[in-house]
Structure 1
Amino acid sequence: MTAHSFDPTRTGLLIVDLQNDFLHPDGAYARGNQKSADIAALPERVLPVANALRQKGGWIISTQFTLVPGKGGEPFISPHLKEIRPFLTKGDFAPGSWGQALVDELQPADLSVEKVAYSAFYMTRLEWVLRKAGIETLMVCGIVTNGGVASTVRDAHVRDFSTFVLSDGCAAFSAETHECAIGDLSTVARTMTCSEAATLIAGA
């Protein structure tokens, strides 16, 4: 895709799960000692893309993993997640909470969508708001590459969105897992670095 065929006003930077409870030192994952330098570095790396798109009239979309509270505020947690993240508890990733929110560095988002599973399209309003906003192209970044990012990208592909994956704007808990996921996603989306994306946007 060249700058001449790329319309930033119909493009959304889809930020998958870059939330305080995942990334912040006071968040739920830090409390559970689930930390990654690669993940922590993402907001700074993605910010120039977000700023370039804002300047060109594009859209910033934040998907926010959410643990929906049930009776007494106890969250519904899928069995597989409870098994691998036993530290998750009441108040973590709660709707409207600080922990659920997009990290400060990338605020504000034009559109925010709660999600309850890997894919940001699964049982959410994401496709509806994208269509209403006239968004045809998605630049996807966030965490984790092999989980929320991969599932969301594949679902975007089958919905006929023109989809890019920002290869250094995503991360997983291991570099090998990340690289394998990026290779797999290159079959359904175009991959580019954050620098390349910012350059494409600026030249459009």
Structure 2
Amino acid sequence: MTSKEGAAIIEAILFTMGDSVEISALAKAMDVNAKEVKESIEYLKTKYESEDSGIGIIELENAVQLCTKKEMYEYLVKIAKTPRKAVLTDSLMETLSIVAYKQPITRLEVEKIRGVNSDHAVNRLVEFGLIQELGRLDAPGRPLLFGTTEEFLRSFGVKSLEELPTVGAVQVEEFKAEAEQEVNVKLDI
């Protein structure tokens, strides 16, 4: 099977499914190996980039999805209802950051880091589909473990968690200084 033939099959599967499809599932459906699937995906990516196309392919961990290009958004909203965008407050962003960098993590661990009750923030992030329950911790009470979702990756434009920015030692010291300054201002020291 050529990359071109494989690309047509992948394109049809992704269009029909509408959601992300794992590369291993594509390989199984096409009766080829993952390397051949990846070659066909690269062919499709090149095709969509070189043509005046309104669609593209995004990679999410070990899956791919057909999507509209960002440049087409203004035309889409003219014909469809404007999608409900999740408004992420500072507390939601803070909670989401903690989950993204520390996952799998329990609600209690999030609260220890934030220093405040995080029930509402965690529930809203689950509602928005940005985090999900991953299972239970093998500890007394068996608390739920949370982690990010594919929707999180899509929303923040990253293929995997490895692409998240890292925090350097200098930034950590700056954050500590800012936090101390905020505490001192609140305490009027």
TM-score by length of 2: 0.24
Structure ranking higher on relative contact order (CA contacts 8 Å, 6+ apart): 1
Mark the structure with the bigger radius of gyration: 2
Query: TM-score when scaled to structure 1?
Result: 0.23
Hey, which of these two has a bigger chunk of helix by percent? 2
In proportion to residue count, which structure has more strand? 1
